[in-house]
């Protein structure tokens, strides 16, 4: 049997502060958005810019780290997998949402350039290994 591959890597800036909540079983989950920018020139030399927004979800220890260390406008590297969620609202309308389920996050650039705080170091005990992820 052949294996598939579902892997995505993005570098961009947070569009809002991360929001953390807990599942009924007590597992932390943090969500945030990341904007990536792309610039290109057309054949006639006209410059174009495009921004793509991604919804990002992190779970467990990574969710707690994202909530603690990330803030709006920070530049981050996110690695994970794409996941499509489907649901039906109370009126019976069907919805779907594509999101990145993160399994790795790195802060890039100045971590606190927008709020003038001193840089923070992430404790070694907070760094996750591959076997700590539930997926």
Task: Flag whether 126 is in a domain.
Answer: no
Structural domain span for residue 38: 8-116
Would you call 3 exposed, middle or buried from its count of C-beta atoms within 10 A (0-12, 13-18, 19+)? exposed
Residue 3 lies in a domain: no
Say if residues 36 and 54 touch (Cβ distance below 8 Å).
yes
Structural domain contains residue 44: yes
Q: Domain with 53 in it: what CATH number?
A: 2.40.50.140
pLDDT at 132 over 80: no
Q: Is residue 97 part of a domain?
A: yes
State percent of the chain over pLDDT 70.
81
Q: How far is CA 97 from the centre of its chain?
A: 14
Domain total for the chain? 1
pLDDT digits (tens, 9 = 90+) for 27-62: 999 999 999 999 999 999 999 999 999 999 999 999
pTM score, two decimals?
0.76
Q: Is residue 74 part of a domain?
A: yes
């Amino acid at each position: 049997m052949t294996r598939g591959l579902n892997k995505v890597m993005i570098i961009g800036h947070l569009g809002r502060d991360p929001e953390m909540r807990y599942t009924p079983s007590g597992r932390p989950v943090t969500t945030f958005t990341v904007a990536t920018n792309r610039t290109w020139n057309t054949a006639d030399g006209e410059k174009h810019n495009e921004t793509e927004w991604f919804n990002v979800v992190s779970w467990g220890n990574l969710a707690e780290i994202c909530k603690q260390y990330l803030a709006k406008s920070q530049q981050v590297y996110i690695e994970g997998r794409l996941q499509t969620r489907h649901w039906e609202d109370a009126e019976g309308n069907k919805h779907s949402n594509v999101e990145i389920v993160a399994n790795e996050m790195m802060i890039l650039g100045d971590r606190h350039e927008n709020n003038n705080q001193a840089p923070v170091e992430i404790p070694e005990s907070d760094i996750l290994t591959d076997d700590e992820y539930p997926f």
